[in-house]
Amino acid sequence: MSKGGQQQQRETMEFGSSGRGGTGFINKRTTIINRGSHSKAPAGMGYNRTSASFYGGLNLAPGTYSSMSHEGVVNMKEKRGHEKKEMQGLNERLGSYIEKVRFLEATITQLEQELDYYRNQKAADFKPIRDMYENELAQARRVIDDLSAEKAGVDAKMAGLQDLVDTLRQQVETLEGHAVDYKQKIDNQAAQIGGYEGELGTLRLRIENLENENAKLRQLNNQKVEDNRRLRADLDNETAAHIEADCRATTLEEEVEFLRALLDKMPQENKQPVKIKGLDLEAFWKDNMAKAIRDIQNEYDGRLDLMRQDMEARYSAQMRQLQSGAVRDNMETQHAKEESKKLKSQINNTGARFAELESRIAALESERNALKKALANAEIELEEERTKHASDMQKLQSELECCLEEIKLILDAKLSLELEIACYRQLLEGEENRLGLRQIVEQAIGAQSKGAGNLADIVQQSSLSESTGKLTVSRSARGQIGFSEASHDGRYVTVENTGKGANAKVQNLSGWQIRRKMGGQQELVYKFLDGEELAPGKQLKIFAKGAATGANIRNEPNAGGDRCCEHFSWFSGSGVTRLLDANGVEKATLKAVFKQ
């Protein structure tokens, strides 16, 4: 290359977004640094670098680095493959760069000759070269300052997005609390309706018993009326027999009187009575007749007195019995009438009470239907909020991934600029110290490798700072079943069987349950499926319903894969997770403590 000639080399490096988020809120910024040869510089050397950077930052909200760490672990293989491809590209660039170095060695030889020429000259002026590189360094510093300002803006925007996520989470928790209150109110209304239905059944049973008792009293009354009718018929028969006996006695008395009168009025026969010496026949006849009549009269009077006494006694007894029975029947009838009136009044009151209870039950049912409708609407709104929150979280997660990728690209660009600045500084110092260009290149390559290692360490420390710096986890187990892991962002809980050797056995988890209490949240309970077994050395992961997307969920015992609980999230923060067996005995615990 001739003295005073000019050569310009142009290299363009572009860093763009991966396009995964697709949000469009990060604007490109292009910085162009032009390096050209001075008119008095030997073999002018120019460098044009175009870099595109994006807004980004490292100071993220709590919980973000944990998500970054998890996503980084999940996508480790993909990133490593991408890094291998990048290393291949870098190796190719290094080969081309070595070729350029060889070309530059020849150029440096020429420049050394020109430098010797300028050194031999008196009063050589290197100020234009120094000014040119100082201007380039000033431009590089301004680029770094602009990137720092852009990073601060992205940090502020990420903080606002994190506040929005916290607000949405609080709204979801409030809606869940309202849903629990509505369910409790519906249960109370159902219990009250059950009480009213029980009281109504009791009243119906009591009415049925009273109706049965009334029927029995009516049957007893009919029986007593029939007895009275039968006794009246017997009394009439006895009275007729007594009257007939009186009539017969009167007839016999009249007949006796008639015969006596007839005998008295019979004409005296003038016949000469038969006279027997020592015997008066007339007197004998009169005496015998009078005696016979007296005997008949006495016999008749005796029998008549006996019959009269017997009839009077029977009549008196029957009259007393009838009177006492009539009084008792009257009392029972009066009592039955009063009881019937009382039952009628109770039936009327019960009917009114029954109508009132039916109206109240109808009102409660309408209120319950209204509450069910309100609960259904609240559940629909809650599900919509959850869906919206999940979509927003996914969107923010994708934006965060884009930001992280762009931050890595920005850090790479920044590191590359720093390495180039160091390389130019080494070139200047090499010109002054007479170092070989090969040694300068080797030092630059070593610095680049060291810088790449430092960058990897920074990214790794950034992704792990959340879990190691602020989260403390302690585990304990009684037996071979214990907790392997509990995601601090509330996505899943993992249980494992640590049994080994001859003592290892398959554990039946029927009736076992996991209880998780995090901070001021309600206690979450998950019951293992009936027949679920966990073999030695195996793990079982239980995902929350809100984090089951993409997981291998199989809610069947011993079907392999993972399980899903009915809770939307396991909650995050400080708290205790316990494992209980079928008898309620605590088998394992996992305590997590966040230090703010």
Q: Look at 65-74, 202-211, 267-276, 516-525 and tell me which has the smallest mean pLDDT.
A: 267-276
Residues 145 and 78 in one domain: yes
Q: Does residue 385 belong to any structural domain of this protein? A: no
Q: Which residue has the tokens 């009259």?
A: 319
What is the mean predicted confidence (pLDDT) over 365-384? 86
Please say if the pLDDT value at position 588 is more than 90.
yes
Residue 526: pLDDT band with limits 50, 70, 90: very high
> How far is it, in rounded angstroms, from Cα 275 to Cα 153?
182
Q: Does residue 180 belong to any structural domain of this protein? A: no
Residue 391: pLDDT band with limits 50, 70, 90: confident
Residues 164 and 209 in one domain: no
What is the mean predicted confidence (pLDDT) over 82-98? 78
Q: Please report, in angstroms and rounded to a whole number, the separation of the first and last CA atoms in the chain.
A: 65
Residue 386: alpha-carbon gap to chain centroid: 15
Residues 211 and 356 in one domain: yes
CA distances from 427 to 4, 224, 537 (A): 20, 137, 59
DSSP 542: E
Residues 366 and 239 in one domain: yes
Q: What is the pLDDT of residues 191-213, one digit of tens each?
A: 888 888 888 888 888 888 888 88
Residues 462 and 368 in one domain: no
What is the mean predicted confidence (pLDDT) over 165-182? 84
Residue 314: pLDDT band with limits 50, 70, 90: confident
Residue 494: pLDDT band with limits 50, 70, 90: very high
Residues 413 and 332 in one domain: no
Q: Does residue 552 belong to any structural domain of this protein? A: yes
Residue 470's CB is within 10 A of a number of other CB atoms, namely 16
What is the mean predicted confidence (pLDDT) over 384-397? 84
Q: Does residue 177 belong to any structural domain of this protein? A: no
Q: Does residue 386 belong to any structural domain of this protein? A: no
| Total of domains in the chain | 3
Q: CA torsion sign, 543 to 549 to 555 to 558?
A: negative
Q: Which of 422, 440, 466 is where one domain is finished? A: 466
Residues 207 and 72 in one domain: no
153-162 as b/e, with b when 16 or more CB fall inside 10 Å? ebbebbeebb
Q: Does residue 178 belong to any structural domain of this protein? A: no
* Total residue count of the chain as it appears in this document: 596
What is the mean predicted confidence (pLDDT) over 346-362? 82
Q: What is the pLDDT of residue 425?
A: 67
Q: Which helix (H) or strand (E) holds 518?
A: strand 513-518
Query: Residue 553's beta-bridge partner residues?
Result: 562
Residues 222 and 336 in one domain: yes
Nearest Cα to Cα of residue 455 among 508, 500, 408? 408
Q: Does residue 393 belong to any structural domain of this protein? A: no
Higher-confidence residue: 596 or 188?
Answer: 188
What is the mean predicted confidence (pLDDT) over 455-476? 54
- What percent of the chain lies above the pLDDT cut of 90? 6
Q: Note whether 542 and 564 are within 8 A (CB).
A: yes
Q: Look at 238-242, 450-454, 501-505 and tell me which has the smallest mean pLDDT.
A: 450-454
Q: What is the pLDDT of residue 586?
A: 92
Q: What is the pLDDT of residues 106-133, one digit of tens each?
A: 888 888 887 777 777 655 566 777 788 7
Q: What is the pLDDT of residues 214-271, one digit of tens each?
A: 888 888 888 888 887 888 888 888 888 888 888 888 888 888 888 887 777 765 544 4
pTM score: 0.27
Q: Look at 362-376, 467-481, 542-556 and tell me which has the smallest mean pLDDT.
A: 467-481
Q: Which of 466, 486, 508 is where one domain is finished? A: 466
Q: What share of the chain is helix, strand, coil (3-state, %, to 5)?
A: 65, 15, 20
Please say if the pLDDT value at position 4 is more than 50.
no
Residues 287 and 366 in one domain: yes
> How far is it, in rounded angstroms, from Cα 247 to Cα 245?
5
Q: What is the pLDDT of residue 42?
A: 38
Residues 416 and 342 in one domain: no
Q: Which helix (H) or strand (E) holds 33?
A: strand 29-35
Q: Which of 340, 358, 377 is where one domain is finished? A: 377
Residue 546's CB is within 10 A of a number of other CB atoms, namely 18
Q: What is the pLDDT of residues 17-30, one digit of tens each?
A: 333 333 333 333 33
Instruction: Return mean pLDDT, the chain.
Output: 74
Which domain, by its residues, includes 306? 187-377
Please say if the pLDDT value at position 53 is more than 50.
no
Q: Does residue 98 belong to any structural domain of this protein? A: yes
Q: What is the pLDDT of residue 50?
A: 36
